[in-house]
Amino acid sequence: MYDLIVVGAGPAGYTAALYAKRYDLDVLVVGEDLGGLCSEAYIVENWPGTKEIEGKELTDKMKEQIEDLGVEVVQEKVDKIEGNKSFDVHTENRVFETSSVILALGADKRRLNIEGEKELVGKGVSYCVTCDGPLYRNKDVAVIGGADSGLKAAILLAEYADSVSVFEATDKIMAEKIMIQRCEQNDKIELNTGTVPKKFVGDNYLEKIVFQNGEEVDVDGAFVEIGSVPNRSIEKIGDREIKRDEDGFIEVSSDLSTSVEGVFAAGDVTTESNKMRQIVTAAAEGAIAAYSAYTYLGEKEE
């Protein structure tokens, strides 16, 4: 019987485990994707105290830190959680028992949901520049999305590709000014606004993108960077629904407790931190959730 199981192995989950261990709780981390979306980040420049660091390096350091404290990290997908005030956390192969839970489920890449997208994933359509960018050396590629993640993707792709065309649906590039300046200073990168993709076209591999205005652009690859949606892999605890808002974020109180007693949530999956979805806010919520779980367990014993 663990005191606490953290479901999710990104910055929120790792930080929750770090603080829980410092509160002398017996804690376990279970997550399918080690590092979460943070591990896919080409470069992180807004982690306090670190000028720049690769996302995977940052999350690897977080994991190493909690493992050095004796926290076990299990790389398995949690299929369901059952129980009432004490919980059974089920993976495909095992069942773990715990007195409390923190859901640090993170987020998933948002899809365009347009014609040809599903069929061409892995065949020219990608959601991970860090993973697939090197495959497009000397190619012409597109980035769909003109916010920070899209422009960061474009800058990395420019190291490999001959040309990178960024397409933003709105009439304005929505990224930080410094990211816009870096793209404008790079001869390989072209920024386009007011361009909404209609479909991806290709027989066995992506050949072109057709936009709603009728424009067609020939490309060898397309990277979709239009934000994220909260992970919904855990919707219930037993037969009790975890309350979410209309966008799918888990509703939490200021102590990060959810609608189910003994279950807390932290990071990109919650309604807290103004849904800012930054590494630093995920870590902060992980720390708060761990303290709240510690307080909750202490009150249970009284």
Indicate if the pLDDT at residue 69 is higher than 90.
yes
By three-state DSSP, how is residue 194 classified? coil
Active-site hit among 132, 183, 220, 268: 132
At residue 255, the pLDDT reads 98
The predicted-structure confidence for 273-290, as pLDDT tens digits, reads as follows 998 989 999 999 999 999
Q: Are residues 27 and 167 in the same domain?
A: no
The alpha carbon dihedral of 260, 263, 268, 272 has a sign of: positive
Question: What is the span of the domain harbouring residue 128?
Answer: 117-224
Check if 162 is active-site: no
Measured CA to CA, the distance from residue 268 to residue 71 in angstroms comes to 22
Check if 183 is active-site: no
Indicate if the pLDDT at residue 204 is higher than 80.
yes
Closest CA to 286 of 105, 51, 133, 126: 105
Domain termination residue (choose one: 176, 201, 224)? 224
The alpha carbon dihedral of 168, 173, 178, 182 has a sign of: positive
Measured CA to CA, the distance from residue 276 to residue 298 in angstroms comes to 31
The terminus-to-terminus CA distance of the chain in angstroms comes to: 19
At residue 41, the pLDDT reads 86
Q: Are residues 255 and 291 in the same domain?
A: yes
Higher pLDDT, 41 or 179: 179
CATH number, domain with residue 39: 3.50.50.60
Active-site hit among 131, 162, 218, 245: 131
Q: Are residues 31 and 92 in the same domain?
A: yes
Q: Are residues 218 and 144 in the same domain?
A: yes
Domain count of the fold of the chain: 2
Question: Mean pLDDT for the chain?
Answer: 96
Average pLDDT value for residue range 209-213: 97
Indicate if the pLDDT at residue 61 is higher than 80.
yes
Q: Are residues 232 and 93 in the same domain?
A: yes
Indicate if the pLDDT at residue 302 is higher than 80.
no
Active-site hit among 26, 33, 88, 128: 128
At residue 95, the pLDDT reads 98
Indicate if the pLDDT at residue 148 is higher than 80.
yes
Q: Are residues 34 and 80 in the same domain?
A: yes
Indicate if the pLDDT at residue 301 is higher than 90.
no
Average pLDDT value for residue range 144-173: 96
Q: Are residues 238 and 156 in the same domain?
A: no
Check if 60 is active-site: no
Please state, for a pLDDT cut of 90, what percent of the chain lies above it: 92
Domain termination residue (choose one: 224, 242, 270)? 224
Q: Are residues 92 and 131 in the same domain?
A: no
Measured CA to CA, the distance from residue 54 to residue 146 in angstroms comes to 21
Indicate if the pLDDT at residue 43 is higher than 90.
no
At what angle are helices 55-68 and 11-22 packed, to 10 degrees?
20
At residue 130, the pLDDT reads 85
Confidence band of 89 (pLDDT split at 50, 70, 90): very high
